[in-house]
Amino acid sequence: MLSSGPATFLQVGSDHHKTVLLLHGGGLDCASLSWRLLAPELAKHYHVIAPNWPGYAGSAALGRPYTIADIGHWLMRFLDHQKIDNAAMVGISMGGGAALWSAINHPMRVNALIPVGTYGVAPRAPYHLLSFLLTRLPLNAISYAAMRRYPSLLRRAVAGLFADPNKVTPELVAEVSDVLASADNGTPFTHFQRGEMTARRLRSFYREDLHRIAQPTLFIHGAQDALVPLETVQMAAKQMPHAKLEVLDVGHWPMREQPEQFNRLVSTFLDSLNN
């Protein structure tokens, strides 16, 4: 792991000229957790860089409620610091929302998009009003403490991201446990939830802007994603002139539930743009 001022990141394949940026999600995630199986595959042909969002895995926290736009601006500064003019962006959940924001607001920095289980295409969260009220309570800190103490709760939380809980291996749970041990009681994710959620809707909802995204785009989505409804992604893909959608029989974390199929989809799509 390398450091870029206040940001930590993973980097492989730095001898290649074309850059792929991998953007992880929120909650119990970080760059290595979502991308450790994809990054080595892409590094055969691309410069791959995966930053840790503020407050995750050693990156300096913002220390306040924030939105997708806030981490989008942070990402632009990160790219400037790394002297990366543009990149293909692959983002899961919160990271997908940041990739969409980047394509809308800084289109010259983005040459292709792969949003996965993406944030930014649904106007509300599941059980939205209840979720909003719960963000005002210290539930993340309580949940993190409980998962540290009771491994069965941690496994259940990971299984909730899968369509098939039998695919949650002890090795994966151990990886998540390592992240949990160093996580700041969920504070960065709490700040994201408090910044993004109003009582009625999510602040970052890009339906009116998606038609402006002209970059080649591959949405990858789980048919059994419990966090982002499939129909919202189907609608988003129809609004974009150069977008297509691949639906996998997975939940919200396809790169860990079906890594071989996921990696093949990503690699094939990116390679097709360079032929």
Q: Please state the rounded mean pLDDT for residues 35-55.
A: 97
- Reference 257, options 209, 230, 217, 222; nearest CA is 222
Q: Which residues of 224-248 are buried (b: 16+ CB within 10 A; e: fewer)?
A: bbebbeeebbeebbebbeebebbbb
Q: Please state the rounded mean pLDDT for residues 119-128.
A: 91
Does 263 fall in a domain?
yes
> What does the pLDDT read at residue 127?
82
Confidence band, pLDDT 50/70/90 cuts, at residue 84: very high
- Reference 16, options 51, 36, 43, 38; nearest CA is 43
Beta bridge partner(s), residue 92? 116
Q: Please state the rounded mean pLDDT for residues 197-210.
A: 94
Q: Which of 129-138, 159-168, 175-184, 231-240 has the lowest mean pLDDT?
A: 129-138
- Where residue 64 sits, what CATH number does that domain have? 3.40.50.1820
Whole-angstrom distance, CA of residue 264 vs CA of residue 99:
20
Does 242 fall in a domain?
yes
Q: Does residue 5 carry a pLDDT above 70?
A: no
For the chain, the average pLDDT equals 93
Cβ pair 159, 168 in contact under 8 A? yes
Q: Does residue 254 carry a pLDDT above 90?
A: yes
Q: Which of 24-33, 178-187, 204-213, 257-266 has the lowest mean pLDDT?
A: 178-187
Q: Does residue 226 carry a pLDDT above 80?
A: yes
Q: Please state the rounded mean pLDDT for residues 178-200.
A: 89
Does 89 fall in a domain?
yes
Does 62 fall in a domain?
yes
Q: Does residue 3 carry a pLDDT above 50?
A: no
Q: Does residue 138 carry a pLDDT above 90?
A: no
Q: Please state the rounded mean pLDDT for residues 48-74.
A: 95
Q: Does residue 185 carry a pLDDT above 90?
A: no
Share of the chain above pLDDT 70, in %: 98
> What does the pLDDT read at residue 1?
39
> What does the pLDDT read at residue 137?
82
Does 108 fall in a domain?
yes
Q: Give the pairing type, strands 19-23 and 47-51.
A: parallel
Does 138 fall in a domain?
no
Q: Please state the rounded mean pLDDT for residues 85-99.
A: 98
Does 112 fall in a domain?
yes
Cβ pair 57, 27 in contact under 8 A? no
Cβ pair 93, 22 in contact under 8 A? no
Task: State phi, psi for 90 to the nearest 5 degrees.
Answer: -115, 120
> What does the pLDDT read at residue 132?
84
> What does the pLDDT read at residue 126?
85
Looking at per-residue pLDDT, the higher value among 133 and 225 belongs to: 225
Neighbours of 134 (CB within 10 A): 13
> What does the pLDDT read at residue 34?
98
- Reference 116, options 217, 267, 32; nearest CA is 217
Q: How many domains does the chain have?
A: 1
Does 85 fall in a domain?
yes
Cβ pair 135, 65 in contact under 8 A? no
Domain that includes residue 118, residue range = 2-123+204-273
Contacts of 169-173 with CB under 8 Å at 24 or more apart are: 172/256
